Amino acid sequence: MKLKELVIRFLENKYLAFAITLIIFVLCTMPSEQLPKGNDKTAHFVVFAGWAFCWQFAFKNYSKTLIFGILYGIFIEFWQGSLPKSFHRGFDWYDSLADSIGVIIGLVMFYFVNKILSRTTL
Protein backbone atom coordinates (compact mmCIF):
# COMPACT_ATOMS: atom_id res chain seq x y z
CA MET A 1 0.00 0.00 0.00
CA LYS A 2 1.33 3.43 -0.93
CA LEU A 3 2.04 6.15 1.63
CA LYS A 4 -0.72 8.32 0.17
CA GLU A 5 -3.27 5.54 0.63
CA LEU A 6 -2.14 4.96 4.23
CA VAL A 7 -2.44 8.66 5.08
CA ILE A 8 -5.90 8.91 3.50
CA ARG A 9 -7.07 5.74 5.25
CA PHE A 10 -5.86 7.08 8.59
CA LEU A 11 -7.58 10.44 8.10
CA GLU A 12 -10.82 8.87 6.87
CA ASN A 13 -11.12 6.78 10.03
CA LYS A 14 -14.31 7.79 11.82
CA TYR A 15 -12.83 6.62 15.14
CA LEU A 16 -10.12 9.28 14.75
CA ALA A 17 -12.77 11.98 14.30
CA PHE A 18 -14.68 10.81 17.37
CA ALA A 19 -11.46 10.47 19.40
CA ILE A 20 -10.51 14.07 18.61
CA THR A 21 -14.00 15.19 19.63
CA LEU A 22 -13.66 13.35 22.94
CA ILE A 23 -10.14 14.72 23.55
CA ILE A 24 -11.38 18.28 23.00
CA PHE A 25 -14.22 17.69 25.46
CA VAL A 26 -11.87 16.29 28.10
CA LEU A 27 -9.35 19.12 27.69
CA CYS A 28 -12.11 21.74 27.87
CA THR A 29 -13.46 20.12 31.04
CA MET A 30 -10.13 20.04 32.89
CA PRO A 31 -9.36 22.81 35.39
CA SER A 32 -7.54 25.55 33.50
CA GLU A 33 -4.44 25.52 35.72
CA GLN A 34 -3.75 21.92 34.59
CA LEU A 35 -3.38 23.04 30.96
CA PRO A 36 -0.33 24.63 29.32
CA LYS A 37 -0.24 28.41 29.40
CA GLY A 38 -0.65 30.24 26.10
CA ASN A 39 -3.07 32.22 24.03
CA ASP A 40 -6.50 30.72 24.72
CA LYS A 41 -8.08 31.95 21.46
CA THR A 42 -5.21 30.56 19.38
CA ALA A 43 -5.60 27.19 21.08
CA HIS A 44 -9.35 27.15 20.32
CA PHE A 45 -8.71 28.17 16.71
CA VAL A 46 -6.01 25.53 16.09
CA VAL A 47 -7.84 22.70 17.84
CA PHE A 48 -11.11 23.28 15.98
CA ALA A 49 -9.29 23.67 12.65
CA GLY A 50 -7.78 20.22 13.23
CA TRP A 51 -11.15 18.89 14.35
CA ALA A 52 -12.89 20.11 11.18
CA PHE A 53 -10.08 18.82 8.96
CA CYS A 54 -10.40 15.32 10.43
CA TRP A 55 -14.21 15.34 10.47
CA GLN A 56 -14.34 16.40 6.84
CA PHE A 57 -12.00 13.56 5.85
CA ALA A 58 -14.13 11.07 7.78
CA PHE A 59 -17.62 12.22 6.81
CA LYS A 60 -17.13 14.29 3.62
CA ASN A 61 -19.97 16.74 4.16
CA TYR A 62 -18.97 20.40 4.30
CA SER A 63 -22.27 21.78 5.58
CA LYS A 64 -22.70 19.17 8.33
CA THR A 65 -19.09 19.57 9.47
CA LEU A 66 -19.50 23.35 9.54
CA ILE A 67 -22.79 23.31 11.44
CA PHE A 68 -21.80 20.55 13.85
CA GLY A 69 -18.43 22.21 14.51
CA ILE A 70 -19.97 25.57 15.33
CA LEU A 71 -22.62 23.95 17.54
CA TYR A 72 -19.98 21.82 19.26
CA GLY A 73 -17.93 24.93 20.05
CA ILE A 74 -20.99 26.65 21.52
CA PHE A 75 -21.89 23.50 23.49
CA ILE A 76 -18.38 23.40 24.96
CA GLU A 77 -18.77 27.00 26.16
CA PHE A 78 -22.12 26.29 27.82
CA TRP A 79 -20.56 23.19 29.39
CA GLN A 80 -17.63 25.22 30.72
CA GLY A 81 -20.07 27.77 32.10
CA SER A 82 -21.71 25.00 34.13
CA LEU A 83 -18.46 23.73 35.70
CA PRO A 84 -17.58 24.57 39.31
CA LYS A 85 -15.84 27.93 39.91
CA SER A 86 -12.76 26.04 41.16
CA PHE A 87 -12.14 24.89 37.56
CA HIS A 88 -11.59 28.52 36.49
CA ARG A 89 -13.70 27.90 33.41
CA GLY A 90 -16.57 29.96 32.08
CA PHE A 91 -18.72 30.76 29.08
CA ASP A 92 -16.97 33.00 26.51
CA TRP A 93 -18.53 33.96 23.17
CA TYR A 94 -15.06 34.86 21.86
CA ASP A 95 -13.94 31.26 22.39
CA SER A 96 -16.96 30.14 20.34
CA LEU A 97 -15.98 32.63 17.64
CA ALA A 98 -12.41 31.29 17.63
CA ASP A 99 -13.81 27.74 17.39
CA SER A 100 -16.04 28.73 14.46
CA ILE A 101 -13.22 30.44 12.57
CA GLY A 102 -11.09 27.37 13.22
CA VAL A 103 -13.78 25.12 11.74
CA ILE A 104 -13.91 27.27 8.59
CA ILE A 105 -10.12 27.25 8.24
CA GLY A 106 -10.06 23.47 8.80
CA LEU A 107 -12.56 23.01 5.97
CA VAL A 108 -10.50 25.24 3.68
CA MET A 109 -7.38 23.24 4.58
CA PHE A 110 -9.24 20.02 3.79
CA TYR A 111 -10.30 21.38 0.40
CA PHE A 112 -6.73 22.17 -0.64
CA VAL A 113 -5.13 19.07 0.87
CA ASN A 114 -7.75 16.90 -0.80
CA LYS A 115 -7.01 18.56 -4.15
CA ILE A 116 -3.27 17.99 -3.68
CA LEU A 117 -3.74 14.36 -2.64
CA SER A 118 -5.97 13.67 -5.62
CA ARG A 119 -3.22 14.90 -7.98
CA THR A 120 -0.10 13.39 -6.42
CA THR A 121 1.27 9.93 -6.49
CA LEU A 122 3.21 9.28 -3.28
Q: What is the pLDDT of residue 40?
A: 80
Q: Which domain holds residue 73?
A: 3-30+37-119
More confident residue, 35 or 48: 48
Q: What angle do CA 21, 82, 56 make, to 5 degrees?
A: 20
Query: pLDDT band at 121, cuts 50/70/90?
Result: low
Residue, of 11 and 24, whose pLDDT is higher: 24
Q: What is the mean pLDDT of residues 46-71?
A: 96
Judge whether residue 122 has pLDDT over 60: no
User: What is the pTM (predicted TM-score) of this model?
Assistant: 0.88
* b/e sequence 104-113, b meaning 16+ C-beta within 10 Å: ebbbeebeee
Chain centroid offset of residue 90 CA: 19
Domains: count for the chain: 1
pLDDT confidence tier of residue 63, bands split at 50, 70 and 90: very high
Residue-averaged pLDDT of the chain: 90
